[in-house]
Amino acid sequence: MENVISFPKQENLIDEYERIISHKSGKTVDAYLRSIRQFASWLSERPGGGDTFHPEQMTTTALDVYLEELEAEYSINYRNRIKSAISGFSNWLIEKGLLQQNPARGVEIPPQPLLAPRELSQDQRYVLRNLVEKKEKSLRGKALFALGYWAGCRVSDVSWLKMKDVHVGKKVGWLHVGHKNKKGRDIDILNQVRRPIHDFLEDEKQKKDRPYVFFSQRSDRLTEAGIHHWFRNLKRKATKDEWEYIQDITFHDLRHDFAHRAREAGWTIEEIAYYLGHVTKKGTPAIETTARYTQVSRKQIKGKLQLVKG
């Protein structure tokens, strides 16, 4: 007989697994359980799931399709962490006799293509900026967008931005960013970034004792997943015509596009590398990484053909 587990039973099962992994750090345990619950919820909604979760649904095909759905919005590292969490849970289910084999064994997450920059069109930029101006009501949302679009920040830069690292006033502003690989850097910011951050912090001044700039109802830090979720909701505010332009744009694409616009503005590759945090372990600009963000396009070459002299 199939081992069908309703949602209340599912929670009991996950609670039991939580005790098994309780030796890990609190953050790791929370991340693992969140990944497992989200996958179980997704499985229950698949054809034949019947709004219930049962371990036999945890097949290689199911996990492969699930991770493919996350590919557009989440990094390779994030999806590998999900795969690891589900693999550990699966091994435990196998020990309990509730699962025959680990579905993660047959799943491979392909590496990110080396040449995958994203340069937005003028229409895409117009639609996104208009959405933020006209339909994004929260000051937090305006600040999030500004950091991606006008400062080229990584989603981790934004998520882990601390109050003590923000130095903005009415006329000047700079940030200390760089959570990834602990490669912090100081960057000056445009008024298009300074103003929304200043307005957001002034509006939230009664909460300035918090450690992080962006928080959620559940935590003192807005997670990377939370930022991606906000960006998807922003895009949903678009009209049908606008949606056609922005449906596949991710928050990380804003960073790529910033690099292209900086290059067009005359920045050197080294300057872009520093600003974006593309540096080697020795602290020198990682030119190869930055070059992928600023590939020369056919349009750029076409515009300069007439400058060639005979």
**What is the reported pLDDT for 310?**
54
pLDDT of residue 298: 52
Residues 6 or more apart whose CB falls under 8 angstroms from that of 26 comprise: none
In what side-by-side order are the strands of the sheet with 185-188? 166-168, 173-177, 185-188
- Residue 15: per-residue pLDDT: 87
Q: What is the pLDDT of residue 289?
A: 59
What is the average pLDDT value for the chain, to the nearest integer? 84
The number of beta carbons lying within 10 Å of the beta carbon of residue 144 is 30
Phi first, then psi: give them for residue 250, nearest 5 degrees: -110, 170
49 is written with which tokens?
């799931």
* Superfamily for the 7-106 domain: Tyrosine recombinase, N-terminal domain (1.10.150.130)
Domain 122-306, CATH among 1.20.120.1200, 1.10.443.10, 3.40.50.300, 3.30.420.10: 1.10.443.10
Please give the Cα distance from 142 to 138 (Å, whole number): 7
Domain ranges of the chain: 7-106, 122-306
Query: What confidence tens digit (pLDDT) does each residue in 220-278 have?
Result: 999 999 999 999 999 999 999 999 999 989 999 999 999 888 888 888 888 888 888 87
Q: Strand 166-168 relative to strand 173-177: parallel, antiparallel, unpaired?
A: antiparallel
| Pairing assessment for the beta strands 166-168 and 185-188 based on DSSP bridges | unpaired
Tokens found for residue 60: 């290689």
Q: How many residues does the chain have?
A: 310
Question: Which parts of the chain sit beneath pLDDT 70?
Answer: 1-11, 49-50, 111-117, 180-182, 204-208, 279-310
Place of tokens 């807005």: 222
How does pLDDT run across 154-174, given as a tens digit for each residue?
999 999 999 999 999 878 899
Structure tokens at 274: 């520093």
Under the phi-then-psi rule, with left for phi > 0, alpha for psi from -120 to 50, and beta for the rest, what region is 15? alpha
User: Which DSSP helix (H) or strand (E) runs through 193?
Assistant: helix 191-203
